[in-house]
């Protein structure tokens, strides 16, 4: 049930009111990194793990996240709302805290648009910018895994 509470809180924090989508500056010490490479977000209670920094299709990203065994497993691809919490227009070059090291231009979400396409989150334009792409598309796509803090 803790994950449900986190997701509800994320919805309210990310979309507090229509038209108020200004990025919030990252709080000092918001993210911590374990020796295993797990990034903990102290504001949301989510744990993140950055996938290999190479072009990745949605099917590859999904398989990677579900098979990830780091710190006991339980990983999945993030929702668009969870990815939105990482976006910060003030940060360069990828508009997210540099602890999330990637050279890709967008991150796959776990959300499908239809059976052949899935939603991605655009790092350069962020905000509410997301788009659907073929699940087979891999150019500049990356995978992050997420789970509720254990």
Query: For the domain that residue 98 is a member of, what is the CATH number?
Result: 3.10.100.10
Three-class SS of 61-118:
HHHHHHHCCHHHCCCECCCHHHHHCCCCCCCCCCCCCCCCCCCCCEEEEEEEEECCEE
Please determine, for residue 54, whether its predicted confidence score (pLDDT) is greater than 90.
yes
pLDDT 10s digits, 1-30: 445 444 444 444 443 333 333 334 445 688
- CA separation for the pair 37, 8 (Å, rounded): 26
Residue 58 lies in a domain: yes
Q: Are strands 39-41 and 46-50 parallel, antiparallel or unpaired?
A: antiparallel
Residue 109 lies in a domain: yes
Question: Please, are residues 107 and 118 in contact by the beta-carbon 8 Å criterion?
Answer: no
Instruction: Kindly report the number of other CB atoms within 10 A of residue 79's CB atom.
Output: 18
Q: Are strands 144-148 and 130-134 parallel, antiparallel or unpaired?
A: unpaired
Closest CA to 149 of 42, 15, 27, 16: 42
Residue 138 lies in a domain: yes
User: pLDDT band at residue 53, thresholds of 50, 70 and 90?
Assistant: very high
Residue 75 lies in a domain: yes
Residue 25 lies in a domain: no
**108 or 139: which leads in pLDDT:** 108
**140 or 50: which leads in pLDDT:** 50
User: pLDDT band at residue 98, thresholds of 50, 70 and 90?
Assistant: confident
Q: So what's the pLDDT on residue 59?
A: 95
Residue 11 lies in a domain: yes
Residue 21 lies in a domain: no
Q: Determine what percent of the chain is predicted with pLDDT higher than 90.
A: 49
Residue 23 lies in a domain: no
User: pLDDT band at residue 108, thresholds of 50, 70 and 90?
Assistant: very high
- CA separation for the pair 112, 118 (Å, rounded): 4
34 is in which domain, residue-wise? 2-16+30-148
User: pTM value?
Assistant: 0.78
Total tally of structural domains belonging to the chain: 1
Closest CA to 84 of 9, 5, 3: 9
- CA separation for the pair 142, 150 (Å, rounded): 24
């Amino acid at each position: 049930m803790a994950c449900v509470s986190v997701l509800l809180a994320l919805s309210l924090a990310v979309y507090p009111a229509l038209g108020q989508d200004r990025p919030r500056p990252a709080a000092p010490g918001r993210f911590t990194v374990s020796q295993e490479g797990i990034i903990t977000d102290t504001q949301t209670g989510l744990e993140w793990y950055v996938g290999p920094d190479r072009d990745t299709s949605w099917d590859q990203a999904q398989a990677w996240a579900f098979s990830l065994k780091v710190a006991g497993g339980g990983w999945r691809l993030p929702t668009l709302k969870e990815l939105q919490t990482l976006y910060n227009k003030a940060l360069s070059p990828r508009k997210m805290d540099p602890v999330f090291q990637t050279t890709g231009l967008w991150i796959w979400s776990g959300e499908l648009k239809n059976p052949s396409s899935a939603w991605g989150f655009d790092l350069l334009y962020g905000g509410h910018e997301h788009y659907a792409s073929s699940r087979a598309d891999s150019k500049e796509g990356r995978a992050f895994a997420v789970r509720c803090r254990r």
